[in-house]
Chains A and B, each alone.
Chain A
Amino acid sequence: MRVPAESLVLALAVGIPWALAAALSLLDGRKRWVGWVAVAGLGATLAALARLAVLVVGGGRVEMTAGGWPEGVGITLRADALGATFALVSVGVIFASLLYEVLGGVRSRTFPALVVFMTAGLTGLFLTGDVFNFYVFFEVSMTAAYVLASYREQDHQVRAAFIFAVINLLGSVVFLIGVAALYHVTGSLDMVTIAERIDPVQPNSVIAIAAAIFVAFSLKLGLFPFHFWLPAVYVGSHPPVAAILSGALANIGSYGLLRFGGGLLPRELEFGSAVVVVLGTASIIYGALQAISRRDTSEVLAYSAIGQAGYVLVALGVGGTVGYAAAVLYAVVNSLNKGLLFLAAGLRGPLVGPAFAVGAFSVAGVPPTAGFLGKVALFESGLASGTVPTSVALVVLIFLGSALSFVYSFQIYQSRFWAPKPDDQGDRGKPSPVAPRVVVVLLAALALAVGLWPEPLLALSETAADILVGGP
């Protein structure tokens, strides 16, 4: 299984953004060529990740121990279907957002470097096999996000970035405490070893660790009781930044919950599944109702993000192969939707309307968009969940959530593209440049293509779920 060529692809996927980010931070990002170098580097990373995804679906896990240390001593990079899927979709959304910003004109010298730093953190985080490295990569990408949230340096953005940073640092500290506690009870930082050694540990000490880790990732994902920071940050942010935060960074939460909940602490996840499902339900209802009551596009999208995160949580709570596969699939589809919608919301002019409509259809789960796949997977997981009353309740909930998301998607679509209010005219000046609009249309085409040809994504998510069920 360990062929050098495979390890090379893995090393490239993690290494390219690091080297590139270090070089870019010395350059002035406002120059066009610097932006294009960043785009080219991210394109290369994306290609390496796509190759990696094909490798892990075909031949299982790809591993590499850094620095030629013996296994168990050196730091391990480990790519499996779960990590590769999340890395691919996150870097894809970041790539589209960077392309959009470079085509529209970068306004800050640090923007490309920060975006590439975040990519470096995210690829590392999804492809590492070591819990503490997970924390380090996680901090790298979060720190880039704190700075990105204050992009453009408007006062309210700086304040939103400050709140974002403080809340998420608190989450990171809670996660770090969880990591240290995992090390204390198992004596290892390697994910595979932890999963093996966690079983004989006393359940009551592991429950506390699981709760700490759950809280930390829920904060990142913006689930219902931990969502309060999210709308302020997304509303204040520049469209590509909001797309990156919602489409790529939020994936840390979904991935972390799947990896730590499903992979490392499955017993505790099962024990707390009722709590997880209830919190997910609360998120779905709360997010959808708040989204319906708002008028501002980015505010609606922010609350919609809370609701959509709830679906991932419900699927996680159901568990098993079906539930995990639905969670992976829904997280992927959701980040594609959010990237598309946030980018499209920042533009005006021909072709933006249809692209936005595709995204809105996808959030509502109308065929043949990608969102339909996610909803079908959720229905399956709802039916698979144990007893008849819970199945019925879950199916009703998912249906209700979809209906509500249909309402708010078309409310904003209508108010934005069909019936501009008279006092809104100032915002709807001349249409945006063609190039960013083409990016948005391509993303919309991708969302349609995934819906029409779902086999690759289904294969990826099912392989990922099998890995979680069969141990990491």
Chain B
Amino acid sequence: MILAVSLAISAIFGSGVFLLLQRDLLRVVVGIVFVSNSAILFIIAAGLSRGDAPIYPLPEGGLLDAGTSDPLVQAMALTAIVISFSTAALLLGLVYRLYAAHRTVDVEDISEAETREAEALEREEEPEREEEPEGKPAEVELEEETR
């Protein structure tokens, strides 16, 4: 059982990391979901025990003797699932925001598009810059410093 679970965890973690290294941002998000899920499996595995469902009222003989399974790992796993699901939603939101701006989800295409836009902006801004008042605030600060 331990071997099976650890193989499953490592397979999921490994494929998650492989996806994380892709250039397609959607694959990166799926990779994060995989990696988080391997951690959730790891939590379950940390308290892997057979037994009845840990639901109150407990069966006769108390918690340990009756072989109730560990309730704490299940609570932790639930919390971790909620967290990983919400962060995945946030990441997808960010990806959508980038897609809406550039019509692509490939990291390299996006950074190329950004460079092009930045260059275009610089070309537009340059004539404006020279019209702005020159040097005055700098002189004021200089006075502050020398005082």
Interface residues of A (CB under 8 A from B): 132, 136, 139, 143, 146-147, 150, 153, 155-156, 158-159, 161-162, 165-166, 169-170, 173, 176-177, 180-181, 183-184, 189, 348-354, 357, 417-418, 420, 423, 425-426, 428-431
B15 within 8 Å of A (CB atoms): no
Q: Mind listing 25 A-B residue pairs with CB under 8 Å? A: A139-B83, A150-B97, A159-B98, A161-B94, A162-B98, A166-B20, A166-B32, A169-B91, A170-B35, A176-B43, A180-B73, A183-B46, A183-B73, A184-B45, A184-B46, A349-B137, A353-B141, A354-B145, A417-B142, A417-B145, A418-B145, A425-B135, A426-B129, A430-B137, A431-B140
CA–CA, A136 to B38, complex, Å?
17
User: Nearest-CB distance from A99 to chain B (Å)?
Assistant: 23
Q: A177-B39, A354-B145, A431-B137 are in contact. Are A155 and B83 (CB under 8 A)?
A: no
Interface pair B87/A155, CB less than 8 Å apart: no
Beyond A176-B80, A425-B129: 10 further Cβ-contacts under 8 Å?
A147-B90, A169-B87, A176-B42, A177-B39, A180-B73, A348-B141, A353-B141, A426-B128, A429-B132, A429-B137
- Report which of A143, A161, A170, A173 forms a contact with B86, defined as CB distance below 8 A: A143
Interface residues of B (CB under 8 A from A): 20, 25, 28, 32, 35-36, 38-39, 42-43, 45-47, 72-73, 76, 79-80, 83, 86-87, 90-91, 94-95, 97-98, 101-102, 110-111, 114, 117, 125, 128-130, 132-135, 137-138, 140-142, 144-145
Interface pair A353/B132, CB less than 8 Å apart: no
User: Nearest-CB distance from B80 to chain A (Å)?
Assistant: 6
Interface pair A180/B98, CB less than 8 Å apart: no
Interface pair A165/B138, CB less than 8 Å apart: no
Interface pair A181/B46, CB less than 8 Å apart: yes
User: Nearest-CB distance from B24 to chain A (Å)?
Assistant: 13
User: Nearest-CB distance from B32 to chain A (Å)?
Assistant: 5
User: Nearest-CB distance from A50 to chain B (Å)?
Assistant: 31
Interface pair A143/B90, CB less than 8 Å apart: yes
Interface pair B144/A165, CB less than 8 Å apart: no
Residue of A nearest to B143 (CB): A350
- Report which of B35, B133, B135 forms a contact with A173, defined as CB distance below 8 A: B35
Q: A159-B110, A350-B144 are in contact. Are A136 and B79 (CB under 8 A)?
A: yes
CA–CA, A386 to B73, complex, Å?
42
Residue of A nearest to B17 (CB): A170
CB-CB under 8 A from A158, the residues of chain B are 94, 97-98, 101
CB-CB under 8 A from B134, the residues of chain A are 425
CA–CA, A27 to B72, complex, Å?
36
CA–CA, A139 to B39, complex, Å?
14
Interface pair B141/A349, CB less than 8 Å apart: yes
CB-CB under 8 A from B20, the residues of chain A are 166, 170
